Amino acid sequence: MGGTQVWGGEQPLLLPGAQRERTAPTSPRGISPRQDLFLPRSPGRMWPLRLAWALAVLGIAAGTDPTAPPPDKASIFADLTPAELRAVRDFLMGRPELGLSPSRGGSLAQNTLFLVELLPPKKRLALRHLDKGGPAPRRQARAVVFFGGQAEPNITEFAVGPLPRPSSYRPLRFKGRRTVPFAARPMTQLEYELLHRALVQATEPLYRLLRDATGFWYHNCTDRCLTFSDIAPRGLAPGERRSWFMLQRFVEGYFLHPVGLEILIDHRDPDPRRWAVQSVWYNGQYFSSAQELAERYEQGQVAVARLDEHASQLLFSTYVPRGRFTTGTPTDVHGAKVCEPQGRRYRLRGNRLEYGGWSLAFRLRSSSGLQLFDLRFNEERVAYEVSVQEAIAFYGGDTPAAMQTKYIDAGWGMGSVTYELAPGIDCPEVATYLDAHHFYDTDRPVRFARAVCIFELPTGVPLRRHFNSNFQGGYHFYAGLEGHALVLRTTSTVYNYDYIWDFLLYPNGVMEAKVHATGFIHATFYTPQGRRYGSRVQSHVLGNMHTHLVHYKVDLDIAGTGNSFETVDLSFENISNPWSPDARVVQPWLHRRPRRSECQAAFPLGQALPRYLLFSNPRQQNRWGHARSYRIQHSSHAGRVLPRGWREERGISWGRYHLAVTRHHENEAVSSSLYTQNDPWEPLVNFESFIRDDESIEDQDLVAWVTVGFLHIPHAEDVPNTATPGNAVGFFLRPFNFFDEDPSVASLSPVIVRPLDQSFSRLEVQRWTPDTPGPCVAPGPFTYNGTYWPE
pLDDT in tens, 265-302: 999 999 999 999 999 999 999 999 999 999 999 999 99
Beta pairing class for 154-161 and 168-171: antiparallel
Other beta carbons within 10 angstroms of residue 82's beta carbon come to 14
Q: How far is CA 612 from CA 125, 127, 474, 630, 739, in A?
A: 33, 29, 39, 10, 17
Fold of 75-172: Nuclear Transport Factor 2; Chain: A, (3.10.450)
- As a whole number of angstroms, the distance between CA 110 and CA 185 comes to 14
Other beta carbons within 10 angstroms of residue 700's beta carbon come to 18
Residue 175: its pLDDT value, please? Answer: 73
- As a whole number of angstroms, the distance between CA 534 and CA 397 comes to 8
| DSSP state letters, 336-396 | -----TT--SEEEETTEEEETTEEEEEEEETTTEEEEEEEEETTEEEEEEEEEEEEEEEE-
Among residues 206, 192, 202, 251, the alpha carbon closest in space to that of 224 is found at 251
Burial of 667 (0-12, 13-18, 19+ CB in 10 A): exposed
Catalytic residue among 409, 498, 679, 771: 409
Residue 171: its pLDDT value, please? Answer: 96
Q: Give all strands (DSSP E) within 737-782, no chain letters.
A: 750-755, 762-767
Residue 48: its pLDDT value, please? Answer: 32
> pLDDT under 50 in the chain at which residues?
1, 5-67, 70
One-letter amino acid at 731 equals F
Catalytic residue among 384, 475, 497, 526: 497
Q: Which CATH class is domain 189-299?
A: alpha beta
Q: Give all strands (DSSP E) within 473-533, no chain letters.
A: 475-481, 484-494, 497-505, 511-519, 523-525
Beta bridge partners of 277: 265
| Run of H or E including 114 | strand 111-119
| 0.85 surpassed by pTM | yes
Residue 433: its pLDDT value, please? Answer: 96
Domain segments of the chain as ranges:
75-172, 189-299, 357-746
With vertex at residue 510, the alpha carbon angle to CA 508 and CA 515, rounded to the nearest 5 degrees, is 140
Q: Check: CB of residue 290 under 8 Å from CB of residue 202.
A: yes
Catalytic status, residue 409: yes
pLDDT in tens, 723-769: 999 999 999 999 999 999 999 999 999 999 999 999 999 999 999 99
Residue 383: its pLDDT value, please? Answer: 98
Domain 357-746: CATH architecture, name and number where available:
Distorted Sandwich (2.70)
Q: Same CATH topology for 75-172 and 189-299?
A: yes
Residue 33: its pLDDT value, please? Answer: 43
Q: Check: CB of residue 53 under 8 Å from CB of residue 770.
A: yes
Q: How far is CA 772 from CA 11, 43, 63, 171, 725, in A?
A: 18, 16, 23, 60, 32
Ranges of H-type helices in 38-159: 43-62, 72-75, 82-93, 123-132
Residue 45: its pLDDT value, please? Answer: 30
Residue 3: its pLDDT value, please? Answer: 55
- As a whole number of angstroms, the distance between CA 218 and CA 206 comes to 9
